[in-house]
A and B are shown apart, each in its own frame.
Chain A
Amino acid sequence: MRRQLPIIVCFGFGAFMLIQFFIPKRSFIFAYENVLDWMQIIYVFTLLVGVANYIKINSKKVSDKAKGWGYNLIALLGLFSMVILGFAKGTDQGSPFLWMFNNLQVPMQSTMFSLLAFFVASAAYRGFRARTKEATILLLSAGIVMLGRVPIGEMIHSSVPDLANWILNFPSMAARRGILIGIGLGTISTSLRIILGIERTYLGRE
């Protein structure tokens, strides 16, 4: 019951969503659109469970006065202030919710990502040493693309930006397509395994 019922539900909904694609009838389209709505709703609830768990873990650390509990308190204050402001004052232009988003979240997020510029430099040093043929190709490709995106590239030679664009638009794009096709085939086989109940990892261990 605990394992069979989810497998039956998975097979039923999976098989229906696959078959409906080949049957363009109004009743099938109606059911398909409803199931898509249901999926969206349940998906949001799964994320809400994550939020509830985050609150639970942080609250426990604060109440236990665990090491660094002050930081957990700050996280909770940030979370609840956004929620209270969002629901009490709305999320429109000029609202305190949007003010916090624009003046706290956005600058912190972009600074966090910009930090990676420093770490990526050390990663590049380790990864880009031309020890093998493959590493040399990697180094050349990355070097040309980086130079092609800044004014110094054009100063070195006028064709550097064009070469960077050619690499991005042809050999790199073609290899990317190869990867995407591979991912597509992998997705199809995994989906079939899920629908047929061969792949059951989502059920957990019990």
Chain B
Amino acid sequence: MDIGILTSALLTLFIFSFLYKDNPFYKFAEHLLVGISVGYFLVIAINTTVLPTLFLPLFKEGNLLYIIPGILGFFMFLRFFPKISWVSRISLALIIGAGAGVSIPAVIEAQIMAQMKASMLKFTSFDGIVVMTALCTTLIYFFFSKKHTGWFGAPAKVGTWFLMVFFGATFGYTVMSRISLLIGRLQFLLGDFLHIID
């Protein structure tokens, strides 16, 4: 039997053993998964970001401007030294500030305007009326500057119903995706590993 299939099957069974109760096999697989995932991330992060966007421009192309992010990145490690850990705030301030600045026009364009544009269906169709009613009532529900009572309370209440439809649909969708993953693992165990099914 292929060593890869045997390893995968054993680790799959170790994790499924949690359905009985927490046990050493599950803990072994859990810790191994976290360790391997961190190692994978480290290699990918260095290969795809640190080497091409920092080391290559700095050392091969001689772009001295990249000394700045290099130093700021190094500052982050000063968090391990309590006396000078405050220096890492400068690096954090840059990514948080610049991120906030970039996000404002991006959010207006991609999240607000695009979503509003996509909701402008024809009012003559039933679907169009449903979409506009759902959107407006949901927005009214999230408007907390006015109490949800009287004439303002009714659309807010309808908004909660549409929100429940959304949460229910999302929950149903998530359940089905988890079940399809489970089916995939069972197919692997019964097919590739035990050869009981094709």
Contacts and interface: CB of A to CB of B under 8 A. Distances in A.
B93 interface: yes
A173 B121 CA distance: 13
Interface string B170-198: 11111110110110110010000000000
Interface residues of B, number: 109
B172 A10 contact: no
Nearest to A78: B35
Question: Which residue among B98, B130, B176 has the maximum number of chain A CB atoms within 10 Å of its CB?
Answer: B98
Contact of B135 (A139, A174, A184): A174
B168 A142 contact: yes
A149 B97 CA distance: 44
A142 B175 contact: yes
A151 interface: no
B79 interface: yes
B69 A38 contact: yes
Contacts of A173: 131
Interface of A: 2-3, 5-7, 9-18, 21, 34-49, 51-54, 56, 68, 71-72, 74-83, 86-87, 91, 97, 99-105, 107-118, 120-121, 124, 127, 133-135, 137-146, 149-150, 166-168, 170-185, 187-188, 190-192, 194-195, 202-204, 206
B77 interface: yes
B139 A39 contact: no
A3 to B, nearest CB: 8
Interface in B131-189: 131-135, 137-139, 141-142, 159-176, 178-179, 181-182, 184-185, 188
B165 A13 contact: no
A6 B162 contact: no
Interface string B48-76: 01100110000000000110111011101
A94 B96 CA distance: 39
Given A6-B89, A43-B95, A175-B165, A120 B174 contact: yes
